[in-house]
Structures are given as structure tokens and as C-alpha cells.
Amino acid sequence: MSQNLRRWFVLSGAVVVLAAVLVAIQGDAPTPSASPRGAARSGAQKNVPLTEVRLHRLHSAPPELEDVARNPFRFAERAAPAAPTRTVSSPSPRVAPPVVVPSGPPPVPAIPLRYIGLLDAPTQAGRVAVLSDGKGNVFYGREGDTIEGRYRVIEVTPVATELSHLDGRGRQTIRLSGQ
């Protein structure tokens, strides 16, 4: 039975290979068209007149372009160029601009601290403001305390704290930023 099965597989394989070869041969050969459409095409190709090839036009120089007067970035019409006039004039003396002198003392520098939190303990007296200088340093202070040796805490509220410089100038309110 194995002999019959083997013969059956060999015969089936030979039929498949033969079919593949026939399909490949027919795919390569041009098929003659007996349809009227194919006959019309071949007849139309025989009667096509040849057009004249003008190679001399390829070697001629292109025409010169005109000067473009259009500017898409301007909305007004182009102004006529002014006639050059030569006038002889004596050079005018240069006047130095007036020197601006600042009036009053220089402005007080801003306090570079941020109000980032509030510590409010009911058993403790007063609220404690938590301030940061943005460089990783954190400062704590109650009303009246000195922070960083330069600033005094005037008032601490849940939404803002008020600071001033130690010498009393430059009072500044810093709102709670949470960062």
C-alpha cells in the first residue's frame, strides 16, 4: 500500500509541475487578439502621421525677462524715483543728546523669596511662613522674625506673607505659590 501511495504522490506532483510550466509558457507568449478593439488599434497605429520635430528650438536662447515691478509685500503703488538733486550745504554741527539723570534713589531690589507654605499649629502662638529662595534653601519665620539676615517678616496670612528689607524699605507682599 505504501507503493501505491508513493506512486499517487509522484503522479500528482508531475501534474502540478506540468500545469505550472504550461501557465508560464502561455504568460510569456503574446496573445493574438481577434477582437475588433485589437484590430482597430493596430489599424490606427499604421495611419498615425509623424509630427515634425523642431530640435533647433532647443538650442536658441530664451527670451529676456522683464524687470518685475510687483512687490507682494507692499500695498501702495510703486513711487517714481526722485530726481537726484545736488545741493551744497554746510555740515550742521552735531548736538549731543541730553544726558538723562535718574531722579531719586535707585529702586529697591525685589525680594527673591517664594512663599511655599504655612505652618499653623493651634497650640503654638502665631503662624509660621515657609519660604524658598529657588536654590534648594528653605526658610521658616513668624511675624517679626529675620530671614536670611536680610529680610523681616511683617505679616503672615494663609494666602500671602509680607516681607521687607531689614532697614525698613522695600515692603513686598509675596503670594502663596505652592511650589
**CA 153: distance to chain centroid?**
45
User: Could you tell me if residue 51 is inside a domain?
Assistant: no
**CA 6: distance to chain centroid?**
70
User: Could you tell me if residue 100 is inside a domain?
Assistant: no
User: Could you tell me if residue 18 is inside a domain?
Assistant: no
Average pLDDT over residues 29-37: 55
Torsion, Cα of 101, 103, 108, 109 (10° steps): -20
Q: Which domain holds residue 130?
A: 114-175
User: Could you tell me if residue 126 is inside a domain?
Assistant: yes
Determine which of 10-24, 87-101, 120-134, 142-156 has the lowest per-residue pLDDT on average: 87-101
**With left for phi above 0 and alpha for psi between -120 and 50, is residue 168 left, alpha or beta?**
left
Q: What is the largest CA-CA distance in the chain?
A: 126
Decide: residue 163, CB within 10 A, 0-12 exposed, 13-18 middle, 19+ buried: buried
User: Could you tell me if residue 62 is inside a domain?
Assistant: no
Distance CA 62, CA 95 (A): 57
Residue 128 clears pLDDT 80, i.e. is over it: yes
User: Could you tell me if residue 49 is inside a domain?
Assistant: no
Residue 172 clears pLDDT 60, i.e. is over it: yes
Average pLDDT over residues 90-111: 80
Torsion, Cα of 117, 122, 124, 130 (10° steps): 0
The domain total for the chain is: 1
User: Could you tell me if residue 84 is inside a domain?
Assistant: no
User: Could you tell me if residue 143 is inside a domain?
Assistant: yes
